[in-house]
């Protein structure tokens, strides 16, 4: 009988202790507080009458001033490019093209990629375009709705087919590199043609370039 009374008294004391301690310490937080117990309220805020995301203290003392809120970088880097012509020299006929590029952003570093593309004329596309032109001229002379419809079809295909396209011949990846100033990439080649290069960039916040800068250059 005495043991039951003792057990009941202990249970009552534990219940009172928990109710006295928990209201001042049960505030949930992201797990990191300052020296005065200050933190941003993230959960159970309504239960304890604290606005969500408000800086407060678990201990009831005056918390220190909140740290500055992290800034979100939504600005995209802008790219620039300047082309130049180069002439093949020496016995080996090698040309060195100096391709100037620039990335402008709020940060001082970015991942930069320079793609060099060669202008190529496709013989198969040229034959296909000549065929479309021949069929268009053929059906244009004939009468009837079906022939006129075919003429319009081949005329559209003739205009849509491009005999010249750009093929990527070199991709230079800088990785994290300094920006906000003009840089130069030196590229050597023996093949004379018309080229262009494109500049891509990604800043430290993960924002990709606002524009893809491009510039043409010729190897003579």
Kindly tell me if the per-residue pLDDT of 218 is higher than 80.
yes
Residues 27, 206: Cα–Cα separation, whole Å: 35
Alpha helices in 45-122 (DSSP H): none
Q: Are residues 46 and 103 in the same domain?
A: no
Residues 166, 217: Cα–Cα separation, whole Å: 13
Condensed to tens digits (0 to 9), the pLDDT of residues 184-214 reads: 999 999 998 999 999 999 999 899 999 999 9
Using CA atoms, how far residue 153 sits from 125, 133, 163, in Å, is 17, 11, 18
Kindly tell me if the per-residue pLDDT of 23 is higher than 50.
no
Q: Are residues 180 and 115 in the same domain?
A: yes
Condensed to tens digits (0 to 9), the pLDDT of residues 79-102 reads: 999 988 788 888 888 999 999 999
Q: Is residue 40 part of a domain?
A: yes
Question: pLDDT: is 63 or 182 the higher one?
Answer: 182
Q: Are residues 18 and 114 in the same domain?
A: no
Q: Are residues 137 and 90 in the same domain?
A: no
Query: Whole-number mean pLDDT of the chain?
Result: 82
Q: Give the pLDDT mean for 113-117.
A: 97
Q: Is residue 10 part of a domain?
A: yes
Q: Are residues 21 and 31 in the same domain?
A: yes
Condensed to tens digits (0 to 9), the pLDDT of residues 126-179 reads: 999 999 999 999 999 898 889 999 999 999 999 999 999 999 999 999 999 999
Q: Are residues 210 and 175 in the same domain?
A: yes
Banded model confidence at residue 34, pLDDT cuts 50, 70, 90: low
Domain region containing 110: 75-121+166-220
Report yes or no: 207 and 76 within 8 Å, Cβ to Cβ.
yes
Q: Are residues 79 and 116 in the same domain?
A: yes
Q: Percent of the chain beyond pLDDT 90?
A: 53
Find the helix or strand (DSSP H, E) in which 90 lies: none
Angle at 140 between CA 135 and CA 145, to 5 degrees: 110
Tell me the pTM: 0.61
Q: Is residue 205 part of a domain?
A: yes
Find the helix or strand (DSSP H, E) in which 176 lies: strand 164-178
Q: Are residues 115 and 136 in the same domain?
A: no
Report yes or no: 41 and 54 within 8 Å, Cβ to Cβ.
yes
Kindly tell me if the per-residue pLDDT of 25 is higher than 80.
no
Indicate the number of domains in the chain.
Answer: 3
Residues 160, 147: Cα–Cα separation, whole Å: 20
- For strands 183-189 and 164-178, give the pairing: unpaired
Q: Are residues 89 and 197 in the same domain?
A: yes
Return the CATH number at 173.
Answer: 2.60.40.2550
Residues 98, 84: Cα–Cα separation, whole Å: 7
Closest residue by Cα to residue 75 from 101, 40, 104, 48: 104
Q: Are residues 136 and 112 in the same domain?
A: no
């Amino acid at each position: 009988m005495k043991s039951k009374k003792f057990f009941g008294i202990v249970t009552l004391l534990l219940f009172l202790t928990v109710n006295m301690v928990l209201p001042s310490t049960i505030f949930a937080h992201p797990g990191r507080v300052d020296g005065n117990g200050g933190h941003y309220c993230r959960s159970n805020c309504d239960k304890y009458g604290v606005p969500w995301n408000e800086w407060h203290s678990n201990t009831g003392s005056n918390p220190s001033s909140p740290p500055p809120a992290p800034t979100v970088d939504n600005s995209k880097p802008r790219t620039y490019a300047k082309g130049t012509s180069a002439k093949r020299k020496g016995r080996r006929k090698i040309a060195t093209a100096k391709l100037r590029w620039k990335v402008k952003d709020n940060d001082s570093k970015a991942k930069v990629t320079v793609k060099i593309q060669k202008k190529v004329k496709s013989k198969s596309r040229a034959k296909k375009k000549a065929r479309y032109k021949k069929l268009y001229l053929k059906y244009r002379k004939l009468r009837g709705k079906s022939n006129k419809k075919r003429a319009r079809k081949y005329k559209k295909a003739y205009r849509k087919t491009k005999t010249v396209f750009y093929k990527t011949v070199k991709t230079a990846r800088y990785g994290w590199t300094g920006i906000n100033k003009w840089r130069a990439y030196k590229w050597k080649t023996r093949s004379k043609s018309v080229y262009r290069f494109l500049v891509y960039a990604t800043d430290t916040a993960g924002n990709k370039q606002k524009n893809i800068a491009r510039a043409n250059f010729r190897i003579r």
